[in-house]
């Protein structure tokens, strides 16, 4: 995939996300903020649904690789449930999944077909859209992860991986790359061969999630210090 095909959607999403969050936070009332949030989540999810319908229409749908069970696709499929009900415990889990998982996908995209294919648009709408959703919740609704959220998210991820292992065994699939690395370059290339990279990746997510949490930890400490200084 060419450099422009990689960076242009990132720039567009950055401009869109910052503008949307600013307008929602400063110009919209609570009801409209919630409506925009749910519309955004629904749009990301409908992209996944439409793409799977498109694959089915081609007549060669393969349940061993085409189901929306890779982490980012799965999150995109269920994200409207979160954007509608806005349960904080779901935010705690999804925030780290989205930031960690989609960042990897954005840096090293694994797209079968480039612009202007449906797969290209599906990939970027899902990965960048999920990021916008979570940052919207963070900066518009002022949701924040806690130290406990890190470990809640890690435990939930292990449960998801366990389910995907069973699905892969039944379907002879490779969802979440538990059985083989992706064809495109990724961070997994630096974690050894199978099955060592699976174990290494599970260990790496602990400091990775803690690093994602670090800005919120610093923010919390600064806020507490300001209260003590008053």
| pLDDT higher than threshold 60 for residue 1 | no
164: left (phi over 0), alpha (psi -120 to 50) or beta: alpha
> Bigger pLDDT: 32 or 107?
32
pTM (two decimals): 0.91
Instruction: Give how many domains the chain has, as a whole number.
Output: 1
Confidence label for 230 from pLDDT (cuts 50, 70 and 90): low
Confidence tier at 53 by pLDDT (50, 70, 90): very high
Q: Residue 45: its pLDDT value, please?
A: 97
Q: pLDDT at position 183, please?
A: 74
Question: What confidence category does residue 139 fall into, taking pLDDT thresholds of 50, 70 and 90?
Answer: very high
What is the structure's pLDDT at 126?
95
Mean pLDDT calculated for residue range 142-149: 96
Residue bearing the bigger pLDDT, 21 or 188: 21
The Cα–Cα gap between 84 and 37 comes to 8
Q: For residues 159-196, b (16+ Cβ closer than 10 Å) or e, as one string?
A: ebbeebeebbeeeebbbbbbeebeeeebebeebeeeee
Least confident of 4-18, 30-44, 181-195: 181-195
Assess whether pLDDT exceeds 90 at residue 202: no
Choose the weakest-confidence range: 77-81, 180-184, 206-210. Answer: 180-184
Range of the domain at 176: 3-229
Mean pLDDT of 48-71: 94
Structure confidence at residue 173 as a pLDDT band (50, 70, 90)? very high
Q: What is the percent of the chain where pLDDT is above 90?
A: 71
Per-residue confidence band for 79, with pLDDT thresholds at 50, 70 and 90: very high
Q: Which is it for the CA torsion 198, 201, 205, 206, positive or negative?
A: positive
Higher pLDDT: 179 or 76? It is: 76
Higher pLDDT, residue 191 or 133: 133
Identify the pLDDT of residue 104.
80
């Amino acid at each position: 995939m060419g450099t422009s095909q990689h960076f242009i959607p990132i720039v567009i999403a950055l401009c869109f996300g910052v503008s949307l969050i600013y307008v929602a936070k400063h110009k919209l009332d609570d009801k409209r903020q919630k409506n925009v949030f749910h519309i955004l989540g629904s749009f990301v999810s409908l992209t996944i649904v439409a793409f799977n319908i498109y694959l089915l229409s081609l007549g060669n749908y393969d349940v061993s690789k085409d189901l929306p069970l890779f982490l980012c696709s799965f999150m995109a499929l269920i994200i409207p449930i979160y954007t509608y009900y806005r349960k904080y415990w779901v935010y705690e889990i999804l925030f780290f999944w989205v930031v960690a998982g989609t960042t990897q996908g954005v840096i090293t995209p694994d797209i079968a077909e480039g612009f202007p294919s449906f797969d290209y648009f599906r990939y970027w709408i899902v990965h960048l859209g999920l990021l916008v959703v979570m940052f919207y919740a963070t900066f518009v609704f002022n949701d924040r992860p806690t130290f406990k959220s890190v470990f809640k998210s890690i435990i939930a991820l292990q449960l998801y991986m366990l389910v995907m292992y069973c699905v892969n065994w039944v379907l002879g699939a490779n969802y979440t790359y538990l059985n083989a690395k992706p064809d495109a370059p990724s961070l997994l290339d630096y974690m050894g061969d199978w099955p060592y990279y699976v174990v290494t990746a599970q260990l790496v997510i602990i400091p990775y999630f803690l690093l994602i949490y670090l800005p919120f930890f610093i923010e919390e400490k600064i806020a507490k210090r300001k209260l003590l200084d008053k």
